[in-house]
Amino acid sequence: MSGSLSITFWGVRGSYPAPGAQTARVGGNTPSVQVRAANHLIILDAGTGVIGLGNAMVEQYRANQHPMTATLFFTHTHHDHTQGFPFFTPTHYQTTRLYVFGPKTLHQDLEEVLSRAMLPPVFPITLDELPCLRVMRNLQEGEVIVLNDKESEPRVLVERDETPQNVPEHVIVRVLRSHAHPQGVFIYRIEFGGKAMVFATDTEGYVGGDQRLIQFAQGADLLIHDAQYTEAEYSSDITPKQGWGHSTWQMAQAVARAASVKQLALFHHDPTHSDEMLEDIEKQAQAAFPQTVLAREGMKIDL
């Protein structure tokens, strides 16, 4: 639908997949989120959730024979955010165009990190053997990615350059580098048709709120925010999770309130948390901030 952002959750768990009856309602796949903006397909992270998304793309391709084109943004390259990429079936088609962006980690290019995850003997096909057209690029904080139908490839600008403002056909993706996760993590803001969403997974709250994130997310229609731990888990005197790079739902809500976002989606659920536990967290969170929803696999939000 022109002039809108459509978000679909394909994977909402953190750390590792958690299949089974105890997670059937919320879902057990690791992070992957689809964003549709006009003719553009944007994918945020490639945990195991991206496998189902890829299969759906191939089904549509077989039905209409239109080339598959997508822009994939990695927040970081920890295993739970990349483990689905080798099984992303559109990469096995010559007609696929895949533009991949993400951070340089520990002085290693994004392409090098992904290549190492697909090297024999741990995987049968190397990254170089994939027949799709791939364009991979490291991003830096402050860069702006512009997608529009008049250009065949995404255009990367630095923020001080003249970034298109309020151009209906332009999709704008902004980048914030957070240090609230081991090795750092990218947070993305996607703007289109007067709407904005922010993807802030794998980030830990600060005392007084994460002021840089609050400014970055200001006025967004949707904030997807990490909420992996309960307060009891986070502050446990036996195995505290402080410094692990993840938030509680209270931390997520603190950002949502301070940034005046319209809706908050709790994300990156702990793999040990059952559907019942997560649904109870959702009720508690909605009592404190009614515009909160628990991200579920298959959930679609239209802005």
- The pLDDT-based confidence of 45 (bands split at 50, 70, 90) is very high
Question: What is the predicted pLDDT for the residue at 149?
Answer: 82
- The pLDDT-based confidence of 158 (bands split at 50, 70, 90) is confident
Strands (DSSP E) contained in the chain are 5-11, 32-37, 40-44, 69-73, 97-102, 133-138, 143-147, 155-158, 171-178, 185-192, 195-200, 222-226, 264-267, 292-294, 300-302
- The pLDDT-based confidence of 169 (bands split at 50, 70, 90) is confident
* Coil vs helix vs strand at 141: coil
Q: Nearest 5 degrees, angle CA 26-CA 32-CA 34? A: 100
Residue 1 has pLDDT above 50, yes or no: no
Question: What is the predicted pLDDT for the residue at 81?
Answer: 98
Question: What is the predicted pLDDT for the residue at 222?
Answer: 98
- The pLDDT-based confidence of 134 (bands split at 50, 70, 90) is very high
Residue 117 has pLDDT above 50, yes or no: yes
Residue 13: which domain range?
5-302
Q: How many residues does the chain have?
A: 303
Residue 105 has pLDDT above 90, yes or no: no
**CATH code at 45?**
3.60.15.10
What would the two tokens of residue 258 be?
């301070």
Total tally of structural domains belonging to the chain: 1
Mean pLDDT of the 89-96 span: 96
- The pLDDT-based confidence of 83 (bands split at 50, 70, 90) is very high
Residue 151 has pLDDT above 90, yes or no: no
pTM strictly above 0.85: yes
Residue 272 has pLDDT above 90, yes or no: yes
Mean pLDDT of the 257-267 span: 98
